[in-house]
């Protein structure tokens, strides 16, 4: 099953840029929030924001042999993230606002991974990747930045912990996205459905404790409390 090229090309216009910019800002903000929790300085905050915002897209572009990398082509993204970091680090009012945003961290993170996942899947389709491979590209784009953020902040990446749905939510949402495109659905409709599914699955999983069944070798450890979950 092949997605019609005229459908894919819609995503190369301003709409994709809007999605990408939104994903960069939200992902950078999640990195800044984590940096503030770890009491990092400006350099640490910027580093964490950059790897969170650009890590997944960079790996995606390398695997797709897409040059220059998206943050090189759209280098103002780096400037915007730096400005955001400076404001939060040195403005008490901005820091207090960011602290209030910490309580909305789950929502910010969910929206960020949804936007990056869908943009990654769409770009893979533009490069004529098979549907399943495009879904995997979406998962990579959405998750690598968060993995790098967690590693640099001395946390076990959420992707690798038993707990709330992360990559699974992106996988399901991106799968619906590419299948709907292949069946002829408009890009905005397919993107809207994929976005809603990813965000909903991620948030419901985090707030209601819905997770994938644990591997059999972890069940006994969880019963005895020796293997804590991520949430």
DSSP string, 130-183: -HHHHHHHHHHHHHHHHHHHHHHTT---GGGSSSB-SHHHHHHHHHHHHHHHHT
**38 part of a folded domain:** yes
Taking the C-alpha atoms of residue 222 and residue 185, their distance in angstroms, rounded to an integer, is 43
**230 part of a folded domain:** no
Q: Domain residues for 91?
A: 5-224
**81 part of a folded domain:** yes
pLDDT band for position 99 (50/70/90)?
low
pLDDT band for position 7 (50/70/90)?
very low
Q: Is the pLDDT of residue 9 over 60?
A: no
pLDDT band for position 6 (50/70/90)?
very low
* Secondary structure percentages of the chain, helix, strand, coil, to 5: 75, 0, 20
pTM of the entire predicted model? 0.79
> What element of type H or E holds 198?
helix 187-208
Taking the C-alpha atoms of residue 215 and residue 173, their distance in angstroms, rounded to an integer, is 23
**229 part of a folded domain:** no
**9 part of a folded domain:** yes
Q: What pLDDT, on the 0 to 100 scale, is given for residue 179? A: 95
Q: What pLDDT, on the 0 to 100 scale, is given for residue 217? A: 63
User: pLDDT tens, 115-157?
Assistant: 889 989 998 998 889 999 999 999 999 989 889 998 998 887 8
**137 part of a folded domain:** yes
The residue with greater pLDDT, 48 or 212, is 48
pLDDT band for position 74 (50/70/90)?
confident
Phi, psi angle pair for 164, to nearest 5°: -60, 150
**231 part of a folded domain:** no
Residues in the chain, total: 231
Q: What is the mean pLDDT of the chain?
A: 82
Domain count for the chain: 1
The residue with greater pLDDT, 218 or 152, is 152
**10 part of a folded domain:** yes
pLDDT band for position 210 (50/70/90)?
confident
Q: What pLDDT, on the 0 to 100 scale, is given for residue 83? A: 94
Q: Is the pLDDT of residue 8 over 60?
A: no
């Amino acid at each position: 099953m092949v997605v019609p090229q005229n459908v894919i090309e819609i995503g190369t216009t301003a709409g994709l840029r809007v999605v990408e910019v939104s994903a960069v800002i939200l992902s950078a903000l999640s990195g800044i929030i984590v940096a503030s929790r770890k009491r990092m300085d400006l350099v640490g905050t910027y580093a964490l924001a950059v790897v969170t915002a650009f890590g997944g897209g960079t790996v995606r572009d390398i695997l797709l042999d897409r040059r220059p990398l998206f943050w090189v082509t759209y280098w103002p993204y780096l400037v915007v993230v730096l400005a955001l970091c400076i404001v939060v680090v040195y403005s008490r009012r901005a820091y207090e606002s960011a602290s209030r945003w910490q309580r909305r961290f789950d929502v910010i993170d969910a929206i960020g991974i949804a936007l990056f996942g869908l943009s990654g899947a769409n770009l893979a389709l533009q490069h004529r990747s098979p549907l399943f491979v495009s879904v995997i590209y979406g998962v990579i784009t959405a998750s690598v930045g968060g993995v790098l953020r967690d590693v640099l902040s001395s946390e076990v990446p959420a992707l690798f912990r038993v707990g709330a749905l992360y990559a699974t939510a992106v996988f399901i949402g991106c799968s619906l996205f590419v299948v709907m495109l292949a069946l002829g659905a408009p890009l905005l409709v397919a993107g809207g459905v994929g976005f809603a599914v990813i965000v909903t699955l991620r948030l419901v999983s985090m707030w209601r404790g819905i997770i994938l069944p644990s591997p059999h070798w972890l069940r006994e450890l969880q019963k005895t409390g020796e293997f804590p979950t991520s949430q």
